[in-house]
Amino acid sequence: MNDDSQTTEQDGQRRNTRRRTRTRAELLLAARKVFAERGYHEANIAEITQAADVGVGTFYLHFRDKDEVFNTLLDEGFQDMRDHVAAIVTQQAAKPILPLLVTTIFRYAYEQRDLFLIALTGQATRTRTFRAQAALAGALTQLFENASRDKLLTGYHAPVLARFVTGMITQGIYWWFEHDEPGPDAMAEQVLRLLQHGLPGQLFGHER
C-alpha cells in the first residue's frame, strides 16, 4: 500500500469514527428527550430513533436495548456533573468549599432538570434513584471526611452527614419538577442558612 492509499484509508476511518460518535451523541440526546417526556416504561426505541432521525438498526449498532441507553444516559450525565463540579471547585479554590459545592450542584441541577427528572421520578427504579443520589453525595462525602480528618468537624459521622445534606439538595431538585422558583442561588442560600444556623430555637421549645 502506497502512502496516498494509506492516508486515504486513515482519513476514511477518522470520518467513520466521527460519524459514529456524532450518531451516538444524537441518540443519547434523543433518548434524554423521550425519557423526560414519556418516562422510562412508556418510551420505546422507535420513538428514540425517530427523534434522532436514524433507523432502528442504527440504534442497535450503539446500544443493546432501551435499558442500556437509559443507563448510559445517566452514567455519562452524572459523570459530567462530577467533572463540572470538580472543575469549578478547582477554579475557585480560594472560596469556602461548602457554599461553593452546594451552589454549584444546584446550578448544574437547575440547568439539567430533565436529567434529574429521568433519574429521580417514579419511572426510575430504586437503584437508579440511588445512583443519582450517590453522584450528588460523592463530593460532599469527601469534603466532610477531609474536615473530620483535619479536626474541623467533630461529633458527626461524615458519610451520614453527607447523605443528610444530599437529601436536602435532592428535595430542592424535586421542587423544580413542578416549580421554576426559587432559582438555584436562592435554593442554595436557604440550604446553607439552615446548615449554618439551624432552625429557630422556638421550634424546640427554647425561648427567644
Greater model confidence, 157 or 16: 157
Whole-angstrom Cα distance, residue 190 to residue 172? 10
Q: Give the long-range contacts of residues 63-70, CB within 8 A, separation 24 or more.
A: 63/27, 66/40, 69/27, 69/28, 69/31, 70/31, 70/35, 70/40, 70/118
Q: 53-79: per-residue pLDDT in tens?
A: 999 999 999 999 999 999 999 999 999
Q: 85-130: per-residue pLDDT in tens?
A: 889 988 998 989 899 999 999 999 999 999 999 888 755 566 777 8
Whole-angstrom Cα distance, residue 1 to residue 5? 6
1-63 fold: Arc Repressor Mutant, subunit A (1.10.10)
Please, what is the average pLDDT of the chain? 88
- How is the chain split into domains, by residue range? 1-63, 65-208
Whole-angstrom Cα distance, residue 114 to residue 109? 9
Architecture, CATH, for domain 65-208: Orthogonal Bundle (1.10)
Residue carrying C-alpha cell 452514567: 75
Q: How confident is the model at residue 27 (pLDDT cuts 50, 70, 90)?
A: very high
pLDDT value of residue 13: 74
